[in-house]
Amino acid sequence: MKFTQILGVAVLLSGTMLAGFAQAADINGAGASFPAPAYQAWGAAYKEKASVGVNYQSIGSGGGQNQIINRTVDFGASDAPMADDKLASNNLLQFPTVIGSVVAIVNVEGVADGHLTLSGPVLADIYQGKITKWNDPRIAELNKDVKLPAAAIVPVYRSDSSGTSYVFTSYLAAASADWKSNVGAATSVQWPAGAGAKGNEGVAGTVKNTKGAIGYVEYVYAAANKLATTNLLNKAGKVVKPDVSTFMAAASAADWKTAKNFNASMIDTAGADAWPIVSATFILLPKNPANGAQSAEVMKFFDWAYGKDGDAIAEKLHYIPLPDAVVGDIRKAWQDEVKADGKAVWSN
């Protein structure tokens, strides 16, 4: 895999070896809305070649975690990494699939896409209700060449338990000591100001239809809905735009070697060109599946998704594929840790 932008995709099924399991039924997964466009596009392409459907429900990271804990789906999906002790107690393997970015979206009269710049501390104070007007002096200082209206700011946040919220609030906590001590970072927090909407889809729709609104979504939702995104002042003090190059700059700074359970942070990295709100998104898979053939089919699907055709689909949707070395470690974890009746389900 390479960090390159691919404009076309020919969907071909890459080969893989499974440890003696017949083809299983359609795959069922649920969870994060952050990677849902990728999983749904992968699923559609995979079915054409493998004749195995992938039914993915975008219900939020909290829902995905709960469903895999209860074993009501074949895999769960979460943007917020599950705590190590919770992974152990529920006998789950966690591994990343793609790297995505969270962006701030706005609906401000007279302000076009990419013409507004914000900072982490300013965003934190907007969501704490401390900055309430778009022409506030702190916003004006960052946007000296932009005519800002004296309109009320309407913060929009996720009402459901959300990995996107986890990523966004992790950034706010890193950028603002006040936010860290008063609100914190979690999939669900007590928002001091604003109105809630369900899913990335709900936040995007609410911002699109509400004058003066600001929200946070995975970048693909902003692009798909043609919403105005903001620039951000990053940790290095540089104004950066949300695009593939700044997402990749943040991804390249991740320390995968020392990350337990593949939980490598890409929040507010120090790179001069790095977008500050970048994160991997994760799959949760039972280590002791009741149906080895079904778990094998899940891994077969993601093995295909990690190949060149899956990468191309992900990149068209503005996600960043994982480095090859990380994918190799994931396949090793499948082989070493996922066992049915004491036997490895996957074989490289």
Percent of the residues in the chain that have a pLDDT greater than 90, as a whole number? 82
The number of angstroms, rounded, from the C-alpha of 112 to the middle of its chain's C-alpha atoms is 25
Domains 27-100+277-344 and 102-250 share a fold: yes
Q: What is the per-residue pLDDT across 102-142, written as a single tens digit (0 to 9) for each?
A: 999 999 999 999 999 999 999 999 999 999 999 999 999 99
Q: Which residues, 6+ apart, have CB-to-CB distance to 11 below 8 Å?
A: 45, 48, 49, 309, 313
Tokens at residue 53, please?
């459907």
Overall average pLDDT of the 147-170 stretch:
95
The answer to whether the CB of 348 falls within 8 A of the CB of 17 is yes
Q: Which of 75, 116, 118 is nearest to 95 (CA)?
A: 75
Q: Which residues, 6+ apart, have CB-to-CB distance to 26 below 8 Å?
A: 52, 53, 54, 55
| CATH architecture, range 102-250 | 3-Layer(aba) Sandwich (3.40)
The domains of the chain are located at 27-100+277-344, 102-250
For residue 46, what pLDDT is reported?
Answer: 96
Overall average pLDDT of the 264-287 stretch:
94
- Predicted confidence (pLDDT) at residue 268 exceeds the cutoff of 90: yes
Which CATH superfamily, name and number, covers 27-100+277-344?
Answer: Periplasmic binding protein-like II (3.40.190.10)
- Predicted confidence (pLDDT) at residue 6 exceeds the cutoff of 80: no
- Predicted confidence (pLDDT) at residue 1 exceeds the cutoff of 50: no
Overall average pLDDT of the 226-230 stretch:
95
Q: Report the DSSP pairing between strands 92-106 and 228-229.
A: antiparallel
d(CA 334, CA 127): 40
